[in-house]
Structure 1
């Protein structure tokens, strides 16, 4: 049976970016059966631009304040999906797809019918090289499945300090701060994971009817995808197909300023860590705070080592503010723990 797929694109003030994305969607070897655009823009530029494009099965919705924000727009889009759809894909508005993206994505569900979700793979953010030789104690490179990539300064320090995870990429350690699926190589293989990137993800419609994106993550979101996929991983398996490829061309429009971003990194990071581990040990707590402080220190050093000094300073201050705010004002986790308890009962 041929699986039917709907594509949801949530956008905000990015008419140029979404135009590039739609051009790559129209060129697909397997086009979506339905496309839903949920536009949170506060002007008509995106609507006017889309009016110039001819594309079948397109539904456009411009939402008001009550439904504006990434998780709210995703939940809104889910409510507009046709009942005969099997799979719902989400894409950030600033990506460009390889020609067979949806074909590869759907093949994953055929090969893994148990999948609670499947993610695609971004090709233009990291340089990988094949290697059959792993150098012991090499902290300059990260090795995985016959490939290697340059290790960032933050991970070099974490490895030196014994603060790096043992779990594979895409799995969250009990102290949080795990390696993302960006640490999976472009092998063309399908990897099981615990987290997916929301802007290159997909889920069966029946899953999305039962589980919604948390509206705790207001506006831009940030880690909303980790929250959602970690909750789903309590119920079933998630996969990343590194053959379902696309490029991510970061668009600065609609992003929060560096101070707000830094604060969100810490507070939302704490929230997601507690989704994974609602009752951490003292050792796990210490590691989470040690790594958080280390990352703040790195951004502090960046004030004098990079050209983006103002941005580094603002982000450092945002992270520091977020850190101190946890003392007396931790993110509300009642809904999170309730979801986890339900997952345990069902499992």
Structure 2
């Protein structure tokens, strides 16, 4: 690899954070240890998050992180934070990670090398090794970051294996974009939620694909991910009516706008009648109800999904 080209590419890292100063400290420590340090690290934080602001001020007075900047954002939600980070970023490669993640020391170096391998690559992502309840989520999947023709999303970014390959969707905890590919592109502020705004990186990834850039997933580009409690109604492992509607609405809005013609109608049928464990259609809800999941919750998820589909269909730009 041409080291002169590597040196010429400048790198921004955007880290949204809210009330997680212990996690943020681990993330910034990992960024300090990069073989190829970022040229700027942009921490997007709320002014009313006094503990985080105090931590960042203390860090700035000490050794600090190379190129550390604090970008204030007043609106809640990761979409506003991502967009604020994009406004502040000035470099050729714009990387994203979460405050509850710790990139491996070769993270930025591997991202740069992948971009330099092909000028048609607009985005690069990798695997997040998920730590949960003191254990690592195990598995190995070759199908990662895809949207099937009928709208079924395939994630698996945390258990991807094999060689680097082209994908449709990158994951926010471990993704980067070439500035040229995302110039003027924003995360969609129509997406619902007060915090996580689930699926926002799917929409952004698909927008990059529409611009005819390639997205690459390489499972050897690694971050350690320690999912922390969220500061909104979406608490990952407990059912919440509002959080489920928001996530379901976001997915349906994105997919309806991504697909056209037969694919869109196939998605309506698939999501209504089949779906998956996390977002069940009628058949999956009935199956879940007979396999240990509380019947009222399984069927409620299906009913909420119907409402979310109606709302997304009305709002989708077709």
TM tier relative to shorter chain: 0.7 to 0.9
1:168-183 alignment, distance < 5 Å: 168-182=143-157
Are residues 1:279 and 2:253 paired?
no
Residue equivalent to 2:167: 193
Matches within 5 A, 1:232-251: 232-234=208-210, 235-251=212-228
Structure 2 portions without partners, runs of 5+: 131-135, 235-239
2:87 aligned partner: 79
Give the conservation status (yes or no) of the 8 Å contact 1:196–1:240. Answer: yes
Does the CA-based 8 Å contact 1:105-1:241 persist in structure 2?
Answer: no
User: How many positions carry a matched residue from both structures?
Assistant: 288
Report whether the alignment pairs 1:56 with 2:76: no
Contact 1:267 1:323 in 2 (8 A): no
**SS of corresponding position for 2:230:** coil
Alpha-carbon offset, residue 92 of structure 1: 1.3
SS of structure 1 residue aligned to 2:49: coil
1:183 to partner: Cα distance: 7.2
* TM-aligned CA deviation for residue 57 of structure 1: 1.0
Summarize the Cα distance change of 1:86–1:5 in structure 2 as closer, same or farther, 3 Å threshold: same
Contact 2:38–2:66, Cα closer than 8 Å, also in 1: no
Per-residue CA deviation, residues 125-163 of structure 1 (Å, 9 max, x unaligned), is: 54236xxxxxxxxxxxxx64xxxxxxxxxxxxxxxxxxx
| Equivalent position of 1:162 in the other structure | none
1:34–1:57 contact (8 Å) kept in structure 2: yes
**Which deviations, in whole Å up to 9, do the C-alpha atoms of 1:187-227 show, x marking residues without a partner?**
3x211101111221111122232211111124321111111
Measure, in 2, the Cα distance between the counterparts of 1:64 and 1:171. 33
After TM superposition, the score normalised by the length of structure 1 is 0.75
Which residue of the other structure, out of 244, 249, 253, is the alignment partner of 1:262?
Answer: 244
For each residue in 1:251-274, what CA deviation from the matched residue of structure 2 results, as whole angstroms up to 9, or x when unmatched? Answer: 013242422221123211211211
Residue 29 of structure 1 pairs with residue 4 of structure 2:
no
* Structure 1, unpaired ranges of 5+: 130-142, 145-167, 338-347
Distance 1:64 1:28, change over 3 A: same
Inter-CA distance 97–283: structure 2 relative to 1 (3 Å threshold)? closer
| Superposition deviation, residue 63 in structure 1 | 1.8
TM-score, normalising length: structure 2: 0.81
Relative contact order, higher structure (CA 8 A, sep 6+): 1
Match of 1:332 among 299, 315, 318: 315
Tell me, yes or no, if structure 1 residue 228 matches structure 2 residue 204.
Answer: yes
**SS state at 1:119 partner:** strand
Superposed displacement of residue 41, structure 1: 6.4
Q: CA RMSD in A?
A: 2.6
